[in-house]
Structures are given as structure tokens and as C-alpha cells.
Amino acid sequence: MGRSIEPLAVEKVIGDVVDWFVSEAKLTVQFGSKQVSNGCKIKPSLAADRPLVRVLAPSNNATNLYTLVMVDPDAPSPSEPTFREWLHWIVVDIPEGSDATQGKEVVSYMGPNPGRGIHRYVFVVFRQRGGSLVGVETCLEEERANFNTRHFASKHALALPVAAVYFNSQRQPKPRRSR
């Protein structure tokens, strides 16, 4: 597909989360009517519920399966990302051309909860080698801090990423009380 990964490099998604890769698929992520594009701003309240995610590849081969990983590499703050990467979601066995609901959710979706600063929320899709990841150990909910996308991909023999997209989000101001 040859989609540009330049925004991912400029904003250090490539480097902080994944290595250089060739984009071979189209990844669409949508929160309600809001389509995610690299660097767009999305309020945490809009992203509280899991998005509609679809993986489209030129082969259009329904036997190809994909894994989706969503992380925040800026937790708890971009200036001190001591929890890098914070794991927000993992779905495996997504059939090509389908949305993530057709896969198996192994780590439940957690919406953005940015602390200080502007956080990047990254969706990465890997093509699975050799079929299903049935039996992939689920990451425990308490093990979300210091997740490592590269390590996860290597441990489960995933190919290089085929697509990625990220959005920015920051803490929403609390509504003021009227006196």
C-alpha cells in the first residue's frame, strides 16, 4: 500500500514503540464519527469506549490474521515516561478485511487517561505468522505498565508491523462549579 509512515517517524512513534517498517495495510480507527489520523487530537471522553478498528490489506485474503496493540508511550507524562509503554488494548486473530470485534480480545480496552502533557496513543497492527494466536497468554490487567510492543511481537513470532496510526490526547479540564 505504500502509505507514508513519515508522521510516525517525526513524532517518534518509530523509535519509542516500533522499529522502521513498510506499511502494507490500511488501518482505520474510528471513535464514533471521528476518524483517527496521525497526530489528530481526540478528547479522552470521546475515546472512552473502544473504537471501530478495521485492517485492510491489498491481498484481501481472509485467511490472513492480524494482531492489534494499543499503547501510550508517554505515561505518566511525556517528560517522564516511567511507565512507557502503558498497554491499553490487545486483540489477536483479526481476519483481514474485518474489524477488531471479529478477533479475540486478550487485554480489555482501556480508554485514554492522560496525566500531565499531551500523550500519544498508538495503534499498531502486526500480521500473524502461521495462523491463529490461540493460547496466547493474556496480559494481566495489573501488568499494563512498562509493556513493550517489540518484546510482545518477538515473543509471539509476529511479523514486522503492517500499519500504525496514533492520536494525541490531553487531560480535559474539569467543569467549573457555579456558585
Residues 6-60 have pLDDT tens digits of 899 999 999 999 999 999 999 999 999 999 999 999 999 999 999 999 998 877 7
C-alpha cell at 38: 496521525
**Sequence-distant (≥ 6) Cβ neighbours of residue 10 within 8 angstroms:** none
Tell me the CATH architecture of domain 6-169.
Alpha-Beta Complex (3.90)
pLDDT one-digit tens code per residue, 73-132: 999 999 999 999 999 999 999 999 899 999 999 999 999 999 899 999 999 999 998 777
Look at residue 135 in the predicted model and tell me its pLDDT: 66
Helix (H, G, I), strand (E, B) or coil at 154: helix
Element (H, E) at 90: strand 86-95
Give the confidence band of 134 by pLDDT, cuts at 50, 70, 90. low
Contact 31, 42 (CB under 8 A): yes
Cα 103 to Cα 176: distance, rounded to the nearest angstrom: 41
pTM of the model: 0.91
The residue ranking higher by pLDDT, 51 or 176, is 51
> What pLDDT does residue 79 have?
94
